[in-house]
Amino acid sequence: MKVVNHRVRRESGLSVSGGRRLWYDHVGLGVSVLTLLLIAGWAYRSELASLFRGWRSSDDYSAGQLVPLVIVVFLWRDKKRLAECLLTPCWWGGVLVLLGAQAARIFGLLFMFQSIERYTVVLTAAGLVLMVAGWQVFRRVFWVLLFLFLMFPLPGRVHNMIGGPLQRLATTGSVFLLEAFGARVTQQGNVVVLGENTPMAVAEACSGLRMLTAFIIVAAFIAYMVKRPRWQKGVLLASSIPVAVICNIVRISATGMIMLHVSVELGEKFFHDFAGLVMMPIAVSLIFGEIWLMDKLIVPDSDEGRAGRVAIPSKSAGGTGGVVVRRRASSQ
């Protein structure tokens, strides 16, 4: 009896010490992660402050402030899978990524490329993940790290490259749609003349870039959350661009119809205050419509057909072996 009690006490002591050691490991990991985040935040304080000011001042990229919140949702959704990953810190990989990030940051600082400085925030986050958690966790959160790029504004050259074509496409598309509904319109550059002398200017702010950035974020969120093959997720993400363009054309056309048949003041109020809110549910509905359409058009491989077939060896008249496939009788 004494031996049994001694053994029980010993095993309980081992379990308690193991639990304390595990708790200490978790606390140490939490302190390490918090310390690294504070150091990285202090190092990038100027870039983060500039990014926050850009969100507040530019309507085109104001949707970027939703990205950190969406990432929290992603990590919370995958918390069980992340808990199953082995923590094997990869110091050499993390240090190499951090050195590359700082080299790119210095390059952007010297040659006045602010976008490169901002993008190194993502590389720094990737390096910290490798240093603290290792390759297994890094592979699990790789797409989450890529999602971080959506919170940064596009480089100025890229913005100017796509802003003009989007503006012209919005003007031409709205003229076509208005004419399809029987309205008398003419196009003069990026100005749509409604009726005889009612101009409706499609300014740069109306190009749809704001709607495009918001829809890409929403589409990426939906693609990550739904359980679909990767190629279908890619289709959903890529389709956010034409969906945004179509919704912007519909918004401009609806504004033109209101200005023609109701009043110019009401049309301007609709365009600036209400149309953007209406377009987002429409875009989300179109994305879910794509999911429904892919379910109807694509038939997944079923294992029932394979399970219902039995391979029976047989011999042909010539003596050579062969296989005859027969279907099993379904039992009722």
One domain for residues 172 and 226: yes
C-alpha pair distances (Å), 115 with each of 50, 158, 214: 11, 11, 19
Q: Is residue 24 predicted with pLDDT exceeding 80?
A: no
One domain for residues 161 and 292: yes
Domain assignment of residue 10, yes or no: no
Query: Within 10 Å of residue 286's Cβ, how many Cβ atoms?
Result: 18
- Specify the range with the lowest mean pLDDT, choosing from 55-69, 233-247, 253-267: 253-267
pLDDT digits (tens, 9 = 90+) for 130-153: 988 889 989 999 989 999 999 998
One domain for residues 228 and 113: no
**What's the predicted TM-score (pTM) here?**
0.73
pLDDT at 99: 93
Q: Which residue has the higher pLDDT, 207 or 221?
A: 221
pLDDT at 100: 93
One domain for residues 110 and 39: yes
Domain assignment of residue 65, yes or no: yes
Q: Which residues neighbour 281 within 8 Å (Cβ) at sequence distance 6 or greater?
A: none
One domain for residues 166 and 139: no
pLDDT at 9: 44
pLDDT at 274: 66
One domain for residues 146 and 177: no
Domain assignment of residue 316, yes or no: no
Distance between CA atoms of residues 15 and 112, nearest Å = 58
Tally of structural domains, the chain = 2
Domain assignment of residue 7, yes or no: no
Q: Is residue 209 predicted with pLDDT exceeding 60?
A: yes
Contact status, residue 88 vs residue 135, Cβ threshold 8 Å: yes
Domain assignment of residue 221, yes or no: yes
* Radius of gyration in angstroms for the set of CA atoms belonging to the chain, rounded to a whole number: 29
For residue 191, what are the β-bridge partners? Answer: 188, 201
Per the listing, tokens 């308690």 go with 16
pLDDT at 124: 92
pLDDT digits (tens, 9 = 90+) for 159-188: 888 888 888 888 899 889 988 888 888 888
Pick the last residue of a domain from 127, 152, 177.
Answer: 152
One domain for residues 127 and 213: no
Range list of H helices, the chain: 2-43, 45-57, 67-77, 79-84, 91-110, 114-132, 135-140, 142-147, 156-180, 209-225, 230-261, 264-269, 275-297, 304-307
Distance between CA atoms of residues 293 and 298, nearest Å = 8
Burial of 31 (0-12, 13-18, 19+ CB in 10 A): exposed
Average of per-residue pLDDT across 249-272 = 78
Domain residues for the domain of 75 are: 24-152
DSSP string covering 270-320: IIIIIHHHHHHHHHHHHHHHHHHHHHHH-PPP-SHHHHTEEEEEEE-TTS-
